[in-house]
Homo-oligomer: A and B are copies of this chain.
Amino acid sequence: MFLSTSEHSADAKNRVSVPAGYREALRDDPYDAIYVLPHFDGPYLECGGEQFVQQYRMDIANLPRYDALRKDLEIAVIGAIRRLDFDSTGRVTLPRDFIDHAGIDGRCAFVGCDNHFQIWNADAHAARLRDVRSRLSARLADPAEAERMGGGTDLGSLLRNSESLAALLKGEKL
């Protein structure tokens, strides 16, 4: 799991150290690398390991082969992702166009998002975090939204009550 945020600097060769904790999460991957996508939805890089790419491949493969959405995703996702290999000290070199896309100039922020993480221009991320917080705060005022935010299954009660989950944990298929 990719957790928490940390800032690192990109040097003259556009190298950045990937947080040690993130590298730990990639320990079992076949390549000593991360996959990086300049995201179509904003000035940031979406990153992850093998699972990150496979998830996108699956989403795309599940669409009809001549579907327009599928073709768009192939270009903007598969066509845009690059594998960046670690050097011996745990750094990757960011391609010039990736740096341009995210507006990275010196400091950049690594933001953990569970099964993937993002790389932002440090200042841009700080500003965004303020926005996100106030937006979430406002959402809580609306009961329907509050329900949506915390309406998921309660892990504790699930454990106490669910036989099918117990079966799943024993390795049985549902």
Contact = CB atoms under 8 A, between A and B. Distances in A.
Given A69-B149, A75-B111, A169 B161 contact: no
A169 B174 contact: no
B3 A82 contact: yes
Contact of A113 (B79, B149, B164): B79
B164 A159 contact: no
Most chain B Cβ neighbours within 10 Å, of A59, A69, A132, A135? A132
Given A69-B149, A169-B159, A75 B4 contact: no
A99 to B, nearest CB: 15
A164 B51 CA distance: 16
A53 B159 CA distance: 18
A13 interface: no
Interface size class of A (residues with CB under 8 A): 35 or more
Contacts of A20: none
A32 interface: no
A162 B156 CA distance: 13
Interface in A1-19: 1-5
Contacts of A80: 4-5
12 contacts: A1-B162, A4-B83, A40-B134, A40-B136, A41-B140, A59-B150, A74-B114, A78-B113, A78-B114, A156-B174, A159-B171, A166-B169
Interface of A: 1-5, 40-41, 51, 53, 55, 57, 59-61, 69, 72-76, 78-83, 111-115, 118, 128-129, 132-137, 139-140, 148-150, 153, 155-156, 159, 161-162, 164-166, 168-171, 174
